[in-house]
A = this chain, B = another copy of it.
């Protein structure tokens, strides 16, 4: 497959972040991964960085630079989500304690700025954690804003999972989200509405397990742990693979139904901090700024995944 779409994966791996990377780096992917950058989110940034490096080791991604980013949100205190991803941020599979791969010295914020400024305006940012790195880059060097091709992100939704109003990624750094959503850069948003349709049920996991290569084995171990915590914390049958929706969209848009709508970020509320106010009914009169994913074709989604994992058998 020709790698003709340049992306930077900005993430906090994270089970579903890992699966996004696996999809993006697979033999059937059209994405050229320019860099992987990490951010505090599910767990502390140091742990997320280790996880990113270990995933690269497993996938053999020697040449892709990994840069560590923000340890804390732009304005508010740090919050983490160990209940969901375990103490390491990627509990489940047994991984070597120390990865082979090393991070680059550049800070994630600066690597994003460098890559964008050196580009021909053809890089898509794919954030699957809090938006701190992206917003920090925009504030530090606003000249990147018109040069970002698109931001394809996991976050938000018309309902929440961390509070009744807010999804975790946006809640952790709503101020960063505000900067990004008001930047004018084209945004494709994969929120809980759609990611809750990307559930790895038992039968999905069983089918993937049949592929029988090391990467599919790794994925099955991820899914089993993730399903367990989703059962315990939220009472779900099967875990939603939130973050992988972003990469799936870049590989095959036809999996998703999208709608162009206004989305605003609440940073002031008493109960609604971190809400993405999605103007589904077009009642605000405000200019649409987001391409919002509201549903997906689950069969197509898992078929893509199956093919991607199979490609690692070669």
The interface of chain A, by Cβ under 8 A from chain B, is 70-75, 107, 109-110, 132, 136, 139-142, 158-165, 175, 178-179, 234, 262, 264-272, 275, 277-281, 283-284
Nearest CB on B from A108, distance (A) = 10
Task: Give bound CA distance, A158 to B58, whole Å.
Answer: 42
Least Cβ distance of A187 to chain B in Å?
16
| Distance of A8 from chain B, by nearest CB (Å) | 18
Given the interface contacts A267-B270, A270-B266, A280-B159, does A74 sit within 8 Å of B74 by beta carbon? yes
Contact call B272/A107, Cβ cutoff below 8 A: no
Contact (Cβ within 8 A) B277 A271: yes
A-B pairs with beta carbons under 8 Å apart, 16 shown: A72-B139, A74-B179, A75-B175, A109-B140, A140-B140, A158-B159, A159-B159, A160-B283, A163-B277, A164-B264, A164-B278, A165-B272, A266-B271, A268-B268, A268-B269, A269-B272
**Nearest-Cβ distance from residue A131 to partner chain B, whole angstroms:** 12
| A136 CB contact (under 8 Å) in B139, B269, B279, B280 | B139
CA distance A70 to B264 in the complex (A): 24
Q: Which residues of B contact A141 (CB under 8 A)?
A: 107
Report the nearest B residue to A279, measured CB to CB.
B164
Q: Indicate if the CB atoms of A75 and B74 lie closer than 8 Å.
A: yes
Name the distance in Å between A3's Cβ and chain B's nearest Cβ: 31
Contact A275 B165 (CB under 8 A): yes
